[in-house]
Structure 1
Amino acid sequence: MISVDALTQKHLLALNRQFYQTFGEAFAEKRGRLQPGVDRLLPRIPPQARVLDLGCGHGMVLRALAKRGFRGEYVGVDFSTPLLAQARANAPADLRSRFVQADLTDPSWTSKVSAGPFEVVLAFAVFHHLPGQALRQRVLTQAAALLRPGGALMLSVWAFLHSPRLRQRAQPWERVGLTASQVDPGDYLLDWRHRGQGLRYVHHFTPAELEALLRRTGLDLKEMFLSDGENGRLGLYAVGRRPLPRE
C-alpha cells in the first residue's frame, strides 16, 4: 500500500487546519441539518449511553440526541475553535456534555478525553480528512480502544466521486505545491466557494478500503451502507462493534 511521506502528510494536514479555522463558521452554515445517514444511526444510541463524538463540529449531533430524549454523557472533540465556540453556545443546558479542543493527528489526543469506556464512539465525516493509511489506522485504533466491549463505533466518509458536480470541484495538486505522485490513490484536492474561496484535502474511500480499516482495528463490521446527497450515495457509513471477551 502506497502511503504519503511525512512532509506531504504535514502539508495536507496544515492545509485542512487552515481551511477549517478560516471557514469553520461558513462550513457550519452549509451543514444546517443532519445527514440522512446520521439520522438513521442516532436512534440506535441508548438514552443513558456515554458517547464520544469525534469531529463534533458545531454540536449538531448533541442537539439531535437531546431532541430524541438522550440523557447520558456526551463528549465532543474537534480542533476548530470557531466550531467549538458554536457547539458550547448551543449545547442544551440540562445535559451532561463537554467539548474538548484536540487534534486527532496528535498521538496524545486521547489524554484530553475523559476516561472511557464509552458505549458509542461517533466519527462522522472525519477519516476522509486524515492523509495516509497509517494515520487513519492509528486514530481508529485509539478510538476503538475507548469503547466498552460490545460498544459501537459509527463512522461516515464522504463518497463525493458519486456526484458529477463534486467531481468537477477537484483541483490540480500543483495549486498547493504538490504533484499527483506525492499523494495516495484516492486523494483529492477540492475547492470551496461559500463566503470565500479555499482548498481542502479529501480521501475517497472504496467500501473495501473502509471495511479493511475497521477489521485491522479489531472491530467486527456490522453494517455498511450509502446515504446522503442528491442521489442518496454521497456518504459511506460503517458500524463496527468491539468484540466481547471470550469466555
Structure 2
Amino acid sequence: MDVQLARRLIACNSAFYRDHAASFSATRSAPWDGWQRVAEIVQDTFACAEQRTVLDVACGNLRFPRFLFSRAPQQAWRCVAVDNAPQLAADLPSDGSVRFVERDILGGLLDGTDPLGDIPTCDLVVSFGFMHHVPGGSLRRALLDSLAARVSPSGLLVLSFWQFMDDARLSAKVRVADEGARRAGWPTDELEAGDHFLGWQDDAQARRYCHHFDETEIDALAGHLAKHGMHECARFSADGRTHALNRYLVCRKGGS
C-alpha cells in the first residue's frame, strides 16, 4: 500500500477514536468471550504463582488487563498498556499494576523505527481489536516483528483478527460505509483486498478503516511469526452473536 494512503487511513482512525472515545468506550465494557480461552492457555503456560508481565498493545480502555487480573489473581500480574488514545485509558488502577504508555505505534513503524523498542520483554504480549486497523500487508508484518521482539523466551503472543465480513449485519453496514467513503473522495480502488470502512452509530460523518482477515492471510502471518521463533499453539474462533467474529492466534516463543 502507498505510504501516504496508509498514513491517511491511520489519521482517519486516530481522529475517530479521539472524537468518539466516550461513546465507543461506553459500549466496550464487557470482556470478550474469547478471552476465557486465552486465560486458560495463559494459566496452563504459566502455572507457578509468581509475578508475570503482560504487554497490551492498543489497550483501549484497559478491559483485558482488568479481566486477566481478576481471572488469574494468584500470579501478581503487572501490565504495560500502550495506545495512542490516552482518553480511552484514563481510569488506571490505583495499585500501580498498570503503566500506561502513549505511543503512535503505526506512525513509528512507517517512519522506520520500533515504537516498542524501549519496552522490556514480557511473558505475555497481546493485541486485541488492533490488527484490523493496520493498513497494508507490509505494515502488518512490521507490527508482528515488533510484537514478537517483546515476547520473553517461552512467552506467549496472542492476537485477534476481525472477520466482520462473515457477519451479515456488519457486512451490510460495511457496504453502506464503503459507498459513503467513495463519495467522500477516498481512493477506494487503491485499497488492498479485505480493506473496508465502518461507520459509527447514527453519525454519518464518523468513519474508521478496517481490514477483514481470511484464513489464508492468517496462515501467512503465522508463518511470518515462525521466522521469529514464534510457534503456533492454538487458533480458535469466538465472540459476537455467531461466536466466530474474531479469529484468535496464540504463539509461543521457542515452543513447538
SS at match of 1:34: coil
Give, in whole Å, the separation in 2 of the partners of 1:76 and 1:134: 24
1:187-239 deviations in whole A, cap 9, x for unaligned? 00111116785110000001221121122132212111111111111111110
Is the counterpart of residue 208 in structure 1 residue 227 in structure 2?
A: no
Is the counterpart of residue 80 in structure 1 residue 105 in structure 2?
A: no
Give percent identity, aligned residues only.
30
Within the candidate set 16, 26, 31, 2:23 is matched to: 26
2:9 alignment partner in structure 1: 12
Is the counterpart of residue 110 in structure 1 residue 107 in structure 2?
A: no
2:133 alignment partner in structure 1: 129
1:147 Cα deviation after fit: 0.8
1:17-62 deviations in whole A, cap 9, x for unaligned? 1001111221111111011012221233345221100111111112
SS at match of 1:237: strand
Long gaps (5+) in structure 1 = none
1:120-162 deviations in whole A, cap 9, x for unaligned? 1001111110000111100111110111122110010211112
Give the TM-score taking structure 1 as reference length: 0.89
SS at match of 2:105: coil
1:183 Cα deviation after fit: 0.2
SS at match of 2:88: helix
SS at match of 1:229: coil
- One-letter code aligned to 1:160: F
Give, in whole Å, the separation in 2 of the partners of 1:35 and 1:194: 24
1:55 alignment partner in structure 2: 58
Alpha carbons 1:26, 1:194 under 8 Å: kept = no
Give, in whole Å, the separation in 2 of the partners of 1:25 and 1:195: 14
SS at match of 1:168: helix
Give, in whole Å, the separation in 2 of the partners of 1:142 and 1:176: 34
Give, in whole Å, the separation in 2 of the partners of 1:188 and 1:49: 37
Give, in whole Å, the separation in 2 of the partners of 1:194 and 1:100: 32
Residues matched between the structures, number: 236
After superposition, the Cα gap between the structure-2 partners of 1:203 and 1:50, relative to the gap in structure 1 and judged at 3 Å, is same
Alpha carbons 2:18, 2:87 under 8 Å: kept = yes
Give, in whole Å, the separation in 2 of the partners of 1:33 and 1:199: 23
- One-letter code aligned to 1:225: F
Long gaps (5+) in structure 2 = none
Is the counterpart of residue 166 in structure 1 residue 170 in structure 2?
A: yes
1:46-79 deviations in whole A, cap 9, x for unaligned? 4522110011111111211221204122111111
- One-letter code aligned to 2:38: L
Give, in whole Å, the separation in 1 of the partners of 2:210 and 2:68: 28
Give, in whole Å, the separation in 1 of the partners of 2:203 and 2:62: 21
Alpha carbons 1:227, 1:236 under 8 Å: kept = yes
After superposition, the Cα gap between the structure-2 partners of 1:239 and 1:176, relative to the gap in structure 1 and judged at 3 Å, is farther
Give, in whole Å, the separation in 1 of the partners of 2:152 and 2:139: 23
1:9 Cα deviation after fit: 0.8
CA RMSD of aligned residues (A): 1.9
Within the candidate set 141, 150, 153, 1:149 is matched to: 153
